Structure 1
């Protein structure tokens, strides 16, 4: 598929999605949002893809919504049906919302944060499974400085990532946080020199693609995203049901076989 405001290319089993509006710091437009959703959902369906890396072209990851579009955005756009996920009876209602295609994708998503991640750029990073930041990255919620509120579930996600005190600080002050402080508060998983960012992100994606069962990763991702909505009993019941299925899977047999035979695994995802 041809895109206007993103690029997608594959390196083996890894899909690399790049926001491609560097002259606008990869600020979001309706076109970019629609293309990004299409690309991630397509990678999620592609049996050849085992991990997704999301990054930005140029000096920014994503500076939030493009101000020219935000200025004329109808207030009701936030609830437009066109942005919602098609209703899926196999997913809880929480995954039918605007950006829930990130946690709903069965593949791990790694945000390689090369520069500014502000507003919706930070929201997208939080919806990702891994966040690797360049030492040049900077983070801000930005909403309060625009007269807006904590959008798209960030008031739910951010405290779970950095704790209530840090979330209150970041949301209400909208101050900028550099990569070192982001790492100290747990906002990102690791910080690497700018020149190593994509190499490190791709190394993680390759490890997730070749060393572990894609079936296990998909189930664990769903468990991790659903656990905050569950009681302990429900989480255990879900784990027990999934354990029965995993013990019957081809990947379980291969997991034992490659360990016993002392060779690299050949997981199929089945």
Structure 2
């Protein structure tokens, strides 16, 4: 598929999605938003893709909604049917909404934050499975400075990642923080030099594609994202059921075989 505002490439088992409006700091438009969801769906359904890297072109990751579109955005657009369509009918409704669909993707999403991640740019990063930041990255919620509120579930997600105190600080002050402060509060997994960011993110994607079972990754991603809605007993019951299925899988057979035979794994994802 040809895209206008993103770049979509596949190298081996890794799909890389690049937000491509560098002249506007990759600010979101309806076109970019639609293309991003299409690309995530495409990567999720591609049997050869095992991990997804999301980054931005130029000096920013995503500066939020494009102000020219925000100025004329009808209030009811937030709940427009085109944005609320189901991503995966087998996943919780919580992960079917406009920006919360990354957790419903069956492949891990690695967010390589190359520069500013503000507003909706931060929201996208929060819904990713991994966040690797360039040493030039900066983060801000931005909503309070625009007269808005904590959008798209960020009031639920942000405290679960950085804790209530940090979330309150970031949301109510809208202040910018740099990559090192983000690392200190647990907002990102690691910080790397800017010229190594994409290579580091893609290396992690290759590890997830080759060194561990794609089937295990797929199931564990689902367990992690659904656990906040479960009691301990429910999580244990689900894990026991999934354990039976994993022992029956091809990847379990290969996981034992490559260890015993002392050779690289050849996981099928089944």
Shorter-chain TM range is over 0.9
Counterparts of residues 41-52 of structure 1 (less than 5 Å): 41-52=41-52
Which residue does 2:183 correspond to in 1?
183
Which residue does 1:107 correspond to in 2?
107
Q: Deviations over 1:15-66 (max 9, x none)?
A: 0000000000000000000000000110000000000000000000000000
Which residue does 1:76 correspond to in 2?
76
Q: CA RMSD in A?
A: 0.8
- Is the CA contact 2:86–2:97 (under 8 Å) kept in the aligned structure 1? no
- Is the CA contact 1:40–1:101 (under 8 Å) kept in the aligned structure 2? no
- Is the CA contact 1:114–1:197 (under 8 Å) kept in the aligned structure 2? yes
Deviation at 1:85, TM superposition (A): 3.0
- Is the CA contact 2:95–2:102 (under 8 Å) kept in the aligned structure 1? no
Q: Distance in 2 between matches of 1:10 and 1:89?
A: 26
Q: Deviations over 1:124-170 (max 9, x none)?
A: 00000000000000000000000000000000000000000000000
SS of equivalent residue, structure 1 residue 107: coil
- Is the CA contact 2:87–2:104 (under 8 Å) kept in the aligned structure 1? no
Deviation at 1:89, TM superposition (A): 4.4
Which residue does 2:21 correspond to in 1?
21
Counterparts of residues 1-270 of structure 1 (less than 5 Å): 1-86=1-86, 88-270=88-270
TM-score (norm 1): 0.99
- Structure 1 residue runs without a partner (length 5+): none
Deviation at 1:69, TM superposition (A): 0.3
Q: Which aligned runs of 4 or more in structure 1 are off by greater than 3 angstroms?
A: none
- Is the CA contact 1:118–1:139 (under 8 Å) kept in the aligned structure 2? yes
SS of equivalent residue, structure 2 residue 54: strand
- Structure 2 residue runs without a partner (length 5+): none
Q: Deviations over 1:92-119 (max 9, x none)?
A: 2212211232000000000000000000
Deviation at 1:191, TM superposition (A): 0.2
SS of equivalent residue, structure 2 residue 263: coil
Number of residue equivalences:
270
